Structure 1
Amino acid sequence: MSIPTTHPFDFDPTYGMQLEELLAVEPPEAPAGFDDFWKARYLKALAVDPQPVLRRSKITHADWHVLDLVYISTSSFRIGGWLILPRKGEVRRGLVVGHGYGGRDRPDFDLPVEETAVLFPCCRGLSLSARPPISQNPSWHVLHDIDKPGSYVIGGCVEDLWLAVSTLVALYPWVSGHIGYSGISFGGGLGAMAIAYDPRIDRGHLALPTFGDQPLRLTLPTVGSAQSVQAYHKKHPDVLETLRFYDAATAASRIKVPMLTAVALFDPSVAPPCQFAVANALPKFNEIFILDAGHFDYPGSAKQEAVLRDKIGQFFRVP
């Protein structure tokens, strides 16, 4: 293990917790109506026709056909992204890939998957799906409509992922039942909420997932989007009632499909105990992969990432 010992932060990104303590973190209790809230949103999203439009992208790659993609999400929100298709073999599986809070400017061609149609959506308000009045700055995006539980932007972003699944099913009906999800950080937290209520997703990989244990997330110093939520909470303490409905750890406890979760012992942007709250909430047959650090360069990171990459390849292997 090579957990960073020197860093520029005025707080300890391990929060003084060892692995044993992190593995003991439990998800918070669900607010009344949590499941009904998300099931209703899912049914609403399922009724939307994504109307995907594809065109050849200016981006090219030796192993993948690259297509620019636009589809329609809830509230008629236009979502931009990319679809990549293997040059070799047939499409036998689908994969939706979420992004971090930095957004996405191109597909990730390093995914260790084969015979898979891979969809890279940009969630509403970010990158190719930018639209006023939603800010592209993570510190402001995370606050958009936070005072309105039913229309908080994070819920819309989860719906964007469900419509990404609908898009894959519309384009390749035979992959239905064989669609996975992979997301990091922002995309990891959204993924927990999306997978919990979408039976069309058959497995998921979440790395450094955010939005876990919202009551705890409000109390731990951070440099991530949680910092602006904490500042808002100081002036509007009742916002916790909204946040409890957008808790990735609470949602994770509802997931019933195979999961591979990568969580860090040191992370200045997404507090490790909040990451572990998500991982620990999953049924115990799922695998938790431990990284020394997240959102921070450290010695040995390339080696750990290579091992994780191999695991991801095996996890999403076409049966």
Structure 2
Amino acid sequence: MKMVSNSTEIAHEFFPSNLMFRVYKDGRVERVYKTQTIPPSNDPETGVQSKDVVSSPELGLSVRLFLPKITNPALKKIPLLIYTHGGAFCIGSPFSPHYHEYLTSLVNKANVIAVSVQYRTAPEHPLPIAYDDAWTSIKWIASHVNGDGPEPWLNEHADFEKVFLCGDSAGSNIAHNMTMRAKTDALVGVKIDGLLLMNPFFMNDKRDELIEYIFPTSNGSNDPRLNPASAVNELVGLPCSRVLVCVSEKDFLKNRGVAYYEAVKKSGWNGVIDLLEIPGEDHVFFLFKTSSQKAVDLLSQVSSFLNQAFSLT
């Protein structure tokens, strides 16, 4: 009897309108979306320098650091921003053109030092690997708290009393979970001042086939890592003093970001949380329409948040 190969039979396709990857019945994964990368640079327009540093040789993880132009040598330490990229946990890179350009602009505007962290992506590396990888790099960053870590830029310039965790889309999810993890797995000497969530991805009660595939060990919409609103009582211990949730009017994830905001408020958390909605825009528009007025305005508002001057009033 002739055996028929399943090698061309598709078992799953994810994001058919903007295909990320497909899975064949024989288990083979074909990545359709190819993440572009660019090298670090010394930006001639802003003076922002960037470089790549290995954060975990064992796991093959690196980070991209961004340092603003130092105009006031007397200002020894500046706020530290730890950024996690989006991409549905499956695509994206801190070394991609969009993230490189955005972080360069933000570092210049806000006068912060930034570390854009890498994590291994699904489906080859299913969740919770992304969470663990991000935490590995955050612990590497925290190893510089006494000024004797392996990276001079962090030793010399990072203010570990003013640390912000930030991300967009799935990266916002990771940033939230890293902040929560700091509650139980303390980063000695590190003070997380704020959490900045840009068009965050969280689950609701609807089935998500992608999450079911890339995070088979989760509890779905009842998993607080995916849906923090499902465990409101845990949010009361969010170990930072300020949170800014940015949503876009036309983003299909908008209501999930709003639900997160409402859940944190309901929890009784003793901090300040604000919700900022950008009218007429879609998911992570600020990465793709960087010169638009709304993207420029949002960059200013994010910069103000990082410099403790943000207010919706």
* TM-score past 0.5 threshold: yes
**Structure 1 position 295, deviation (Å):** 2.3
Q: State the alpha-carbon separation in 2 of the partners of residues 232 and 72 from structure 1.
A: 23
1:199-219 deviation line (CA, Å, top 9, x unaligned): 632112111111x2x452x43
Equivalences, count: 228
Q: State the alpha-carbon separation in 1 of the partners of residues 235 and 174 from structure 2.
A: 10
Report the CA distance shift for 1:114/1:304 in structure 2 as closer, same or farther (over 3 A). Answer: closer
In the alignment, structure 1 residue 85 sits paired with structure 2 residue 80: no
Larger radius of gyration: 2
SS in 2 for 1:175: strand
Report the CA distance shift for 1:78/1:253 in structure 2 as closer, same or farther (over 3 A). Answer: farther
Please report the RMSD computed on the Cα atoms of aligned residues, expressed in angstroms. 3.6
**Structure 1 position 196, deviation (Å):** 2.5
Q: Which residue of 2 aligns with 1:172?
A: 155
Q: Which residue of 2 aligns with 1:240?
A: 219
Q: 1:155 aligns with which of 115, 125, 131?
A: 131
In the alignment, structure 1 residue 267 sits paired with structure 2 residue 251: yes
Please give the TM-score of this superposition, normalised by the length of structure 1. 0.59
Q: State the alpha-carbon separation in 1 of the partners of residues 40 and 61 from structure 2.
A: 18
**Structure 1 position 227, deviation (Å):** 4.0
Q: Which residue of 2 aligns with 1:312?
A: 302
Q: What code does the residue aligned with 1:290 have?
A: E
SS in 2 for 1:105: coil
Q: What code does the residue aligned with 1:208 have?
A: N
SS in 2 for 1:206: strand
Report the CA distance shift for 1:230/1:165 in structure 2 as closer, same or farther (over 3 A). Answer: same
Q: 1:294 aligns with which of 282, 289, 304?
A: 282
Q: State the alpha-carbon separation in 1 of the partners of residues 195 and 181 from structure 2.
A: 13
Q: Which protein has the bigger strand share?
A: 2
Report the CA distance shift for 1:318/1:230 in structure 2 as closer, same or farther (over 3 A). Answer: closer
Structure 1 stretches of 5 or more lacking a match?
Answer: 1-8, 11-56, 127-134, 147-151, 220-225
SS in 2 for 1:95: strand
SS in 2 for 1:267: coil
Structure 2 stretches of 5 or more lacking a match?
Answer: 1-15, 18-38, 183-189, 266-270
CA contact (8 A) 1:215 1:244 kept: no
Percent identity over paired residues = 12
Higher relative contact order by CA 8 Å / sep ≥ 6: 1 or 2?
A: 1
CA contact (8 A) 1:253 1:281 kept: no
SS in 2 for 1:176: strand
Q: Which residue of 2 aligns with 1:118?
A: 114
Q: 1:191 aligns with which of 152, 171, 175?
A: 175
**Structure 1 position 248, deviation (Å):** 5.1
In the alignment, structure 1 residue 105 sits paired with structure 2 residue 88: no
Q: State the alpha-carbon separation in 2 of the partners of residues 94 and 113 from structure 1.
A: 14
Q: What code does the residue aligned with 1:274 have?
A: R
Please give the TM-score of this superposition, normalised by the length of structure 2. 0.60
